[in-house]
Amino acid sequence: MSEREAAEDPGRALVSASGETEERALEAALRPKNLDDFVGQKRVRKQLSLVLEASRLRGSSADHVLLSGPPGLGKTTLAMIIAAEMNAPLRISSGPAIQHAGDLAAILSSLTEGEVLFLDEIHRMSRPAEEMLYMAMEDYRVDIVVGKGAGATAIPLELPPFTLVGATTRAGLLPGPLRDRFGFTGHLEFYSEEELQLVLRRSAALLDLKLSAGGFAEIAGRSRGTPRIANRLLRRVRDWALVHGLSTIEASHASAALEMYEIDAKGLDRLDRSVLQALIGKFNGGPVGLSTLAIAVGEEMETVETVAEPFLVREGLLGRTPRGRIAMPAAWQHLGLPLPEGASAVQFPALFDSLESEEEVAETEPEWFHRS
Ligand SMILES: Nc1ncnc2c1ncn2[C@@H]1O[C@H](COP(=O)(O)OP(=O)(O)OP(=O)(O)O)[C@@H](O)[C@H]1O
Ligand SMILES: [Mg+2]
């Protein structure tokens, strides 16, 4: 989101998963520096440590590594860790910065042996640069084209062995030939609440902050499975504690601080809640078309679709159907509202999954349950 939007809606800025430029400096201080400090992502961590260990034993540069996953889960952090663990220098660039093959040639030709080249947002590189990268990854060689048209000649240039670490939030957009040239692909998953608590404990220690177990749990629960959001919420809670002169931050303090920014117990912000409230209050749970829903909450369609919906869908609060958006039973629950009468089993498949015992069914089943 832009700075203007962030200023208009501080709650939205808090739970957005993407990192803003000024935030990057703060993040750097909290970034784990080695694999052991990197919390969670057990599978990726184990696989990666094997890849790195093997290359150390071989005495060669590590295989090329592709890291994919949603924003804020630790791709950049892992890239830096790879360089640190390999004791190798790190060069950083990104797809959008490489618009011509020449841009890439300039970077590649200045790499030193064993250097780690981190290409962020690698899916946004230009086609010609991508093709140059294929050869560089495979044969440590590039062809520099000099001149134009019939007189153009390709001058081959040998490269020292290097390790490419690519990061992408959109692995699906990477062309197959590029994806295939990575020796290892790590897909980062959202973090569990327990893992986020560990992230927070580590950050709190670095920031010299004291929180009770409940305080950590309260923040972790609102962090949407994302360490970047967890650390950001922790900073807001820290401000609150400072202003209120608290030495230990308890659950109630953390929740009071975050309520102030309208971040609720599940990590929903004002926009997320107003989408659910409109769906339920104005359209009886839907289905309703996206454009109508957007008008009802006074936002652009794109904002509702790309900013609010992904998390609501992930949390099982909202469903996308061919006939439009529907509120899921969890949405009523989350807003503390009773489920409407006449709700259908087709519309609410999740209702049936959430019923655990027979008594519970007897207690909660509505009248329509018997009819169908
Ligand atoms: N496993 C982790 N343990 C501890 N802190 C983490 C972990 N993963 C991420 N973080 C913290 O979260 C912040 C964001 O991580 P990072 O910049 O690596 O995310 P990213 O995946 O590169 O996001 P983007 O897609 O926006 O570039 C960092 O400040 C880092 O300290
Ligand atoms: Mg990053």
Taking the C-alpha atoms of residue 39 and residue 124, their distance in angstroms, rounded to an integer, is: 28
- Each residue's pLDDT tens digit, 76-102: 999 999 999 999 999 999 999 999 999
Contact predicate 305/318, CB 8 Å: no
CA distances from 300 to 261, 284, 292, 295 (A): 22, 21, 10, 7
> Is 168 tagged catalytic?
no
CATH code of the domain made up of 193-260? 1.10.8.60
- Each residue's pLDDT tens digit, 121-140: 999 999 999 999 999 999 99
For residue 36, the ligand closest to its alpha carbon is 1
Closest CA to 276 of 262, 293, 255: 293
235 lines ligand 1 (CB under 6 A): no
Read off the pTM. Answer: 0.86
For residue 370, what pLDDT is reported?
39
CA 269 to centroid of chain Cα atoms: 17
Token pair of 317 as six digits:
């609060």
Domain ranges for the chain: 41-187, 193-260, 270-371
Contact predicate 224/17, CB 8 Å: yes
CA distances from 43 to 40, 169, 186, 187, 357 (A): 9, 19, 9, 9, 35
17 phi and psi, to 5 degrees? -80, -20
For residue 363, what pLDDT is reported?
37
Scan for tokens 């700075």, then name that residue. Answer: 3
189 lines ligand 1 (CB under 6 A): no
Give me the residues near ligand 2 (ion), CB cutoff below 5 Å: 75-76
Atom index in ligand 1 nearest the CA of residue 67 equals: 21
Taking the C-alpha atoms of residue 76 and residue 68, their distance in angstroms, rounded to an integer, is: 10
74 lines ligand 1 (CB under 6 A): yes
For residue 9, what pLDDT is reported?
75
Contact predicate 167/136, CB 8 Å: no
Contact predicate 42/81, CB 8 Å: no
pLDDT tens, residue order, the chain (372 aa): 555 555 667 788 888 888 776 777 788 889 999 999 999 999 999 999 999 999 999 999 999 999 999 999 999 999 999 999 999 999 999 999 999 999 999 999 999 999 999 999 999 999 999 999 999 999 999 998 888 888 889 889 999 999 999 999 998 899 999 999 999 999 999 999 999 999 999 999 999 999 999 999 999 999 999 999 999 999 999 999 999 999 999 999 999 999 999 999 999 999 999 999 999 999 999 899 999 999 999 999 999 999 999 999 999 999 999 999 999 999 999 999 998 776 654 455 544 444 333 333 333 334 433 333
Please tell me the residue having the least CA distance from ligand 1 atom 9.
74
Decide the pairing of beta strands 318-321 and 324-327: antiparallel
Taking the C-alpha atoms of residue 351 and residue 100, their distance in angstroms, rounded to an integer, is: 53
Give the 3-state DSSP-derived string for 278-312, with helices as H, strands as E and coil as C. HHHHCCCCCCECHHHHHHHHCCCHHHHHHHHHHHH
Taking the C-alpha atoms of residue 53 and residue 75, their distance in angstroms, rounded to an integer, is: 19
Taking the C-alpha atoms of residue 322 and residue 300, their distance in angstroms, rounded to an integer, is: 20
For residue 72, what pLDDT is reported?
94
Q: Give the CA angle between residues 237, 2, 201 to the nearest 5°.
A: 25
Q: How far is the centre of ligand 2, averaged over its atoms, from the C-alpha of 70 (Å)?
A: 10
Give the 3-state DSSP-derived string for the chain, with helices as H, strands as E and coil as C. CCHHHHHHCHHHHHHCCCCCHHHHHHHHHHCCCCHHHCCCCHHHHHHHHHHHHHHHHHCCCCCCEEEECCCCCCHHHHHHHHHHHCCCCEEEEEHHHCCCHHHHHHHHHCCCCCCEEEEECHHHCCHHHHHHHHHHHHHCEEEEEECCHHHCEEEEEECCCCEEEEEECCHHHCCHHHHHCCCEEEECCCCCHHHHHHHHHHHHHHHCCCECHHHHHHHHHCCCCCHHHHHHHHHHHHHHHHHCCCCCECHHHHHHHHHHCCCCCCCCCHHHHHHHHHHHHCCCCCCECHHHHHHHHCCCHHHHHHHHHHHHHHCCCEEEECCEEEECHHHHHHHCCCCCCCCCCCCCHHHHHHCCCHHHHHHHCCCHHHHC
- CATH superfamily for 41-187 is P-loop containing nucleotide triphosphate hydrolases (3.40.50.300)
Please tell me the residue having the least CA distance from ligand 1 atom 18.
74
Q: In the CATH hierarchy, which fold is given to the domain comprising 270-371?
A: Arc Repressor Mutant, subunit A (1.10.10)
For residue 154, what pLDDT is reported?
87
For residue 70, the ligand closest to its alpha carbon is 1
Q: Give the CA angle between residues 318, 324, 327 to the nearest 5°.
A: 25
Average pLDDT of the chain, as a whole number: 88
